[in-house]
Amino acid sequence: MQWVNKVALALVIIGAINWLLVGLFQWDLVTTLFGGPTVRDSSVLSRIIYTLVGISGLYLIPWLFKERTKLDQ
């Protein structure tokens, strides 16, 4: 089941990086790759939130490569 956790975390990180790009540059990487309008018009507040989500995703990158161990009880 560990591989499922890693795949899910990788998808969350990719999504967060996409939101970071939307927040900073109003540019959507996913729609660039798969079709659709690539520039999003957003309010300043929503861009700040998108940027914070993206930074959180960058923070999680090391967790993707960390080995999980059981806690000692």
What's the pLDDT at 72? 47
One DSSP character per residue, the chain reads: -HHHHHHHHHHHHHHHHHHHHHHHHSB-HHHHHHSS--B----HHHHHHHHHHHHHHHHHHHHHTPPP-PPP-
Does residue 24 have a pLDDT over 90?
Answer: yes
Does residue 4 have a pLDDT over 50?
Answer: yes
Read off the pLDDT of residues 57-71 as tens digits, 9 standing for 90 and up. 999 999 988 877 665
